């Protein structure tokens, strides 16, 4: 397989010679029709308002071919060691689809291993839901609290919030999350639940995550304080790796396993998301979610780049990053259920592609992953959109929308429902950003030519949510391939951990550090 | 008063000639001691890890003097028309401090007007708390829901979340917020409250905000559906301007007033924040919050820039934006209570300073407000910090920390509490970003020289929260003065509103727009 830096690619050199597109002039009905690809589960990616045209797209397709993007995805799906820094396979797709060839590691078929764990979760959840397993004071469990941080928190939490309204009254349990080592975080969750009917899920792949273990101990202390009859180990399960200190421990009702081939930020479809989402919503909802994810994965395998939504999204993103020098991208879901989806994408994208060396460790001469931020519209419109419309930097936008709301409660006012108003706002923004509006009062002038794309579908369901999740996972993966970086390690978080431990053990002799620590009461 | 563009300032030209600082080499104990200013309420701004030295600081002080920053703040506090685009005064400071000279408008003393409104709120809240005013089915009010969007939502919500844990069991009522026009937002709040004991606050300065009126009608519909005996007008108050269609209406139990001199994003200390926070926490908590804000305002008046924290923060921010070309800034509070503070700052900063023309309407040749984003640490550490440490762009960071947690529930594990662990993480990050750590494995190498500042205090209380809020308001104001822009209008949000109304009334004949609208079910 050919691995080359982006600036070595001939098609990138050609792209540098293309004339940029002024979308203000070009956003026609024809483009809206033509520049659209279906990803998974009927979710469509419309890129009519992105600054490309047929010439640029042709060269981007050339770049995708030259960097062998689909082929590299196929290597992932064949169990190659695609995380070279850590010498690991990258297998999160196998939580929801079959590999291209059986992936065997230490005599284990990994696809089967992931399916077995989910099946074990399904059976366990069934026992919880039926009351066959109860709390230590004989109360039926009605609440589940996930204790985890980073990928063990952001993805599952974003998915839970998105599905909560979709599933509605059919939900089996209420879920909540504790992540931050800040004791205020744990307290604010623990204070509002009935601990007798609460099941905790401790999620840590290594079994040694400091924040997570500290929060577990805090939860146990709360239980003991609240009711001395509570037996904490009867209220806790673990999701961890089979070799971690948490595995097979008497401290848990049960343990479910993941492995080193799934990074935290890619773990929503593994047992990390599977346990909490299955407990909250039942196995059918989680199965639909996995099917949605698999449908986008399948689309991402399409060798025809013009029909491959994640790949097209990735390539245009690289064009905007490396040729147009846009450094930030905003994700703007017009759906309240997706309120924490941008926070998940922030980790997914920035932790995967915020790298300065290529997969061989050589320094890069071009920019990699952008900053990602976002809030749900229309809230964002009343907040930071001012800068997006009239600020001095151009920020490409990624809108997400649905025809229908998740709930059937809506109200017609002045002839339109709130959902119609929401989508009228979304449509208006795409046009306003692209086309602008001239005004002799320069303060009220809109230059336009501000790019955006739209991912849209009928309704936010478990299936469409899965499709969107996997679309972005694959987009980020493809961009990592374009940049020739390793999107699957995160060495950048290690130094902070090391220094933290030095401070806590009193080992640091850096005077500036010690003075700052002193200011913070250490 | 002299108004000139940044690039006309001699001190800016001089700054362009200075040699950038490598903080990796320079972050000494001496700097940590020396580069610190107290803003309000004992909150300290430490800028030891920002890329400045005495030479650069001297020129920044020169820039502050040349752009007459404190003098312009004094004009604000004297009631001058400092929002030229809309021809308005800028008077949010008067919600918490006396002006320099009495500010009279249409025969009204504005400072008195703001204080009178807060006093009316205090009396009203007292009657709600005592049960003198009850719901229409004779239930005592125990819940308050604010319906508002943008500044009527983000600031008050962020403050509510921050104070909830600080006030704890002494809180008088539970508060919640409905903002998005997405019906899923309203439903998710309404479904969980007892409407018989719920008081709604409708917040809209103009009285015509589409999202807010739609959500009001949705709330009224819910009330009627839930219990036909409920009388919606006995469950709702308004915060609006005295001339709005909502003022003095029989549809409300009472109305409290704001005016055009306070922009939404600056309204947390006005009746917009005052009503909900006083109802939730009582008048004493809100008074302390205002006192904290006033204490930072007072510091921002200090003509000695080396003692003026907001001004120093602003100037170094402009240096990083305009000389070092950093386009994004992350706000990272190491306090779970401040989880939505970054979202508020996002509006405050990006809506105020995301402008491309100066206060006279001339196009600018330099960059203005940056993108702002952030999440509470340590969550962020496990998410996007990878890019902050090893990405190809430098992102300046603004850390916020407190010696003590808001709650007294904590637990010692391995000899340290969670709060100590939290602050050890914060300290470690500052050092890791600044100093880095060389490693022969380039994948594990940290270059350092990544700048950060630290705002810190004893504990997150109503007073310190107020001080932090006002510090940032004043920082943003000073940066607007440096850039010679009008930080107090938001014309950039108008075009979207106009197009939305065209779509809803079926008036648009833009074919691309209509096709997109059709895709979204309109």
Task: Residue B315: count other Cβ atoms within 10 Å of its Cβ.
Answer: 28
User: What percentage of chain A carries pLDDT values higher than 70?
Assistant: 99
B192 counts as catalytic: no
- Integer distance in angstroms from the first to the last C-alpha of chain B? 51
Q: A372 to chain B, minimum CA–CA distance in Å?
A: 9
pLDDT tens digits, A252-289: 999 999 999 999 999 999 999 999 999 999 999 999 99
**Nearest beta carbon to residue A405 from set B182, B421, B504:** B182
Q: Establish if B418 touches chain A: CB-CB under 8 angstroms.
A: yes
Q: Per the domain annotation, does A159 fall within a domain?
A: yes
Q: Which of left, alpha, beta for A46 (phi over 0: left; psi -120 to 50: alpha)?
A: beta
CA distances from B503 to A413, B167, B244, B495 (A): 15, 45, 25, 12
Rounded (5°) CA angle B212-B330-B475: 75
SS3 B287: helix
Integer-rounded Cα radius of gyration of chain B: 24
**A379 and A516 housed in the same domain:** no
Strands (E), A174-284: 174-178, 198-203, 236-241, 254-258
**Residues in Cβ contact with B133 at an 8 Å cutoff, skipping those fewer than 6 apart:** B124, B127, B141, B253
The number of helix segments (H) and strand segments (E) in chain A equals 18, 15
The full length of chain B comes to 522
**Residues in Cβ contact with B96 at an 8 Å cutoff, skipping those fewer than 6 apart:** B269, B290, B291, B293, B294, B297, B466, B470
pLDDT score of A318 more than 90: yes
Residues A347, B382: C-beta atoms closer than 8 Å: yes
**Residues in Cβ contact with A14 at an 8 Å cutoff, skipping those fewer than 6 apart:** A59, A62
Q: B256 to chain A, minimum CA–CA distance in Å?
A: 22
Alpha-carbon span B511 to B432, nearest angstrom: 53
**B244 and B172 housed in the same domain:** yes
What are φ and ψ of residue A53, in 5° steps?
A: -140, -175
Strands (E), A352-473: 371-373, 397-402, 412-413, 416-417, 452-457
Q: Establish if B27 touches chain A: CB-CB under 8 angstroms.
A: yes
**Nearest beta carbon to residue B421 from set A151, A181, A417:** A181
Contact B388, B330 (CB under 8 A): yes
Domain CATH for B315: 3.40.50.10490
Alpha-carbon span A32 to B13, nearest angstrom: 46
**A132 and A274 housed in the same domain:** yes
Alpha-carbon span B111 to B98, nearest angstrom: 7
Give pLDDT, residue A408.
67
What are φ and ψ of residue A198, in 5° steps?
A: -110, 130
Contact B465, B51 (CB under 8 A): no
Q: Which of these, B142, B139, B222, lies nearest to B178 by C-alpha position?
A: B222
**B478 and B502 housed in the same domain:** no
Q: Predicted confidence band at A333 (pLDDT cuts at 50, 70, 90)?
A: very high
pLDDT score of A57 more than 90: yes
CA distances from B273 to B129, B209, B278 (A): 18, 17, 8
**Nearest beta carbon to residue A384 from set B164, B215, B346:** B346
Contact B345, B316 (CB under 8 A): no
Residues A357, B443: C-beta atoms closer than 8 Å: yes
**Nearest beta carbon to residue A411 from set B165, B218, B499:** B218
Dihedral sign for Cα atoms in the order A76, A77, A81, A83: positive
Q: Which of these, B398, B515, B415, B507, lies nearest to B453 by C-alpha position?
A: B398
> Which long-range CB contacts under 8 A does A171-174 form with residues at least 24 apart?
A171/A280, A171/A281, A172/A125, A172/A129, A172/A279, A172/A280, A172/A281, A172/A282, A173/A128, A173/A129, A173/A141, A173/A142, A173/A143, A173/A144, A173/A199, A173/A279, A173/A280, A174/A142, A174/A143, A174/A144, A174/A280
Q: Per the domain annotation, does B135 fall within a domain?
A: yes
Closest B-chain CA to A447: B356
**B228 and B161 housed in the same domain:** yes
Q: Which of these, B455, B476, B342, lies nearest to B43 by C-alpha position?
A: B455
**B439 and B506 housed in the same domain:** no
Q: Per the domain annotation, does B474 fall within a domain?
A: yes
The residue out of A239, A259, A288 marking a domain boundary is A288
SS3 A15: helix
Q: Per the domain annotation, does B397 fall within a domain?
A: yes
Strands (E), B396-471: 397-402, 412-413, 416-417, 452-457
> What is the mean pLDDT, run by run of 10 residues, along chain B of 522 residues?
95 96 94 97 97 97 98 98 96 98 97 98 98 97 96 97 90 94 82 95 93 91 92 97 91 96 98 98 98 98 97 98 98 94 97 97 97 90 96 98 81 81 95 97 96 97 98 98 98 94 93 96 94
Q: Per the domain annotation, does A296 fall within a domain?
A: no
Task: Residue A362: count other Cβ atoms within 10 Å of its Cβ.
Answer: 12
Total number of domains constituting chain B = 3
Q: Per the domain annotation, does A82 fall within a domain?
A: no
Choose from B496, B504, B505, B508 for mutation: most chain A CBs within 10 A: B496
pLDDT score of A483 more than 90: yes
* CA of residue A455 relative to chain centroid, distance: 15
Q: Per the domain annotation, does B100 fall within a domain?
A: yes
DSSP conformation class of B5: -
Contact A270, A258 (CB under 8 A): yes
DSSP conformation class of A446: B
Q: Establish if A496 touches chain B: CB-CB under 8 angstroms.
A: yes
Give pLDDT, residue B55.
97
**Residues in Cβ contact with A19 at an 8 Å cutoff, skipping those fewer than 6 apart:** none
Q: Is the pTM of this model over 0.80?
A: yes
What are φ and ψ of residue A98, in 5° steps?
A: -75, 145
Contact B462, B282 (CB under 8 A): no
**Residues in Cβ contact with B480 at an 8 Å cutoff, skipping those fewer than 6 apart:** B352, B353, B486, B487, B488
**B477 and B504 housed in the same domain:** no
The DSSP code sequence of A339-363 is TTHHHHHHHHHHHHH--SB-TTSPB
**Residues in Cβ contact with A82 at an 8 Å cutoff, skipping those fewer than 6 apart:** A72, A75, A76, A89, A90, A488
SS3 B172: coil
Give pLDDT, residue B258.
97
Q: Which of left, alpha, beta for A57 (phi over 0: left; psi -120 to 50: alpha)?
A: alpha
Give pLDDT, residue B409.
64
Interstrand relation of A452-457 and A44-46 (parallel, antiparallel or unpaired): antiparallel
Q: Which of these, B266, B260, B267, lies nearest to B87 by C-alpha position?
A: B260
pLDDT score of A410 more than 70: no
More confident site: A414 or B73: B73
**A169 and A34 housed in the same domain:** no
Closest B-chain CA to A420: B522
The residue out of B234, B265, B287 marking a domain boundary is B287
H or E, element range at B199: strand B198-203
Alpha-carbon span A160 to A461, nearest angstrom: 12
Alpha-carbon span A69 to A65, nearest angstrom: 7
Residues of A in contact with B496 (CB under 8 A): 381, 385, 389, 425, 428-429, 432
**A167 and A260 housed in the same domain:** yes
Residues of the domain holding A515: 490-522
Choose from B396, B401, B418 for mutation: most chain A CBs within 10 A: B418
Inter-chain CB pairs, A–B, below 8 Å: 496
Contact B212, B204 (CB under 8 A): yes
SS3 B520: coil
CA distances from B320 to A11, B48, B53 (A): 35, 14, 13
**B188 and B317 housed in the same domain:** no
**B427 and B496 housed in the same domain:** no
Q: Which of left, alpha, beta for B295 (phi over 0: left; psi -120 to 50: alpha)?
A: alpha
Choose from B321, B376, B482, B516 for mutation: most chain A CBs within 10 A: B516
ipTM: 0.96
Give pLDDT, residue A50.
98
CB-count exposure of residue A21 (10 Å: 0-12, 13-18, 19+): middle
**B351 and B229 housed in the same domain:** no
Residues B150, A366: C-beta atoms closer than 8 Å: no
**Helix, strand, coil percentages for chain B (3-state, nearest 5):** 50, 15, 35
* CA of residue A451 relative to chain centroid, distance: 22
Alpha-carbon span B222 to B224, nearest angstrom: 5
The residue out of B236, B262, B287 marking a domain boundary is B287
Q: Establish if B206 touches chain A: CB-CB under 8 angstroms.
A: no
The full length of chain A comes to 522
Alpha-carbon span B193 to B199, nearest angstrom: 11
Q: Per the domain annotation, does B347 fall within a domain?
A: yes
pLDDT score of A186 more than 90: no
pLDDT score of A332 more than 80: yes
């Amino acid at each position: 397989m050919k691995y080359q830096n982006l600036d070595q690619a001939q098609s990138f050199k050609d792209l540098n010679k293309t004339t940029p597109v002024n979308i203000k002039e070009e956003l026609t009905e024809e483009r809206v029709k033509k520049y659209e690809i279906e990803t998974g589960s009927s979710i469509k990616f419309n890129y009519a308002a992105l600054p490309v045209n047929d010439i640029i797209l042709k060269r981007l397709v050339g770049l995708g071919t030259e960097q062998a993007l689909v082929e590299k995805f196929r290597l992932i799906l064949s169990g190659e060691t695609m995380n070279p820094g850590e010498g690991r396979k990258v297998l999160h797709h196998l939580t929801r689809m079959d590999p291209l060839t059986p992936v065997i590691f230490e005599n284990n078929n990994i696809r089967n291993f992931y399916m077995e764990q989910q099946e074990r979760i399904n059976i366990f959840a069934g026992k919880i839901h039926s009351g066959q397993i109860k709390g230590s004071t004989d109360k039926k469990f009605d609440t589940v609290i996930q204790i985890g941080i980073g990928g063990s928190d952001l993805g599952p939490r974003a998915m839970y919030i998105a599905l909560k309204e979709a599933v509605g009254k059919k939900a089996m349990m209420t879920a909540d999350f504790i992540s931050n080592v800040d004791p205020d975080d744990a307290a604010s969750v623990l204070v509002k639940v009935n601990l007798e009917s609460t099941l905790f899920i401790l999620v840590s792949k290594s079994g040694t995550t400091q924040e997570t273990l500290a929060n577990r101990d805090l939860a146990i202390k709360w239980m003991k304080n609240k009711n001395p009859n509570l037996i904490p180990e009867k209220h806790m399960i673990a999701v961890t790796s089979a070799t971690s200190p948490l595995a097979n421990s008497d401290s848990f009702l049960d343990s479910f396993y993941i492995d080193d081939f799934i990074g935290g930020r890619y773990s929503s479809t593994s047992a990390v998301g599977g346990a909490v989402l299955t407990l909250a919503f039942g196995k059918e909802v989680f199965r639909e979610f996995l099917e949605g994810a698999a449908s986008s994965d399948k689309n991402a395998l399409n060798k025809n780049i013009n029909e491959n939504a994640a790949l097209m999204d990735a390539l245009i993103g690289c064009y905007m990053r490396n040729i147009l020098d846009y450094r930030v991208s905003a994700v703007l879901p017009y759906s309240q259920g997706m309120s924490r989806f941008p926070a998940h994408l922030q980790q997914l994208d920035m932790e995967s592609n915020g790298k300065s060396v290529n997969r061989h460790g050589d320094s890069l001469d071009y920019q990699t992953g952008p900053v990602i931020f976002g809030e749900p519209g229309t809230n964002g419109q009343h907040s930071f959109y001012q800068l997006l419309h009239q600020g001095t930097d151009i920020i490409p936008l990624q809108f997400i929308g649905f025809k229908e709301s998740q709930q059937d409660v809506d109200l017609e006012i002045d002839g339109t429902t709130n959902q119609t108003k929401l989508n009228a706002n979304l449509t208006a923004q795409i046009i306003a950003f692209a086309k602008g509006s001239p005004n002799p009062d320069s303060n009220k002038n809109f230059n336009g030519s501000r790019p955006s794309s739209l991912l849209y579908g009928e309704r936010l369901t478990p299936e469409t949510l899965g499709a969107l999740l996997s679309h972005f996972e694959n987009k980020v993966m493809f961009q990592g391939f374009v940049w020739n970086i390793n999107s699957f390690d995160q060495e950048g978080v290690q130094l902070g951990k090391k220094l933290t431990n030095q401070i806590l053990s009193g080992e640091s002799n850096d005077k500036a550090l010690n003075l700052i620590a002193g200011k913070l009461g250490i």
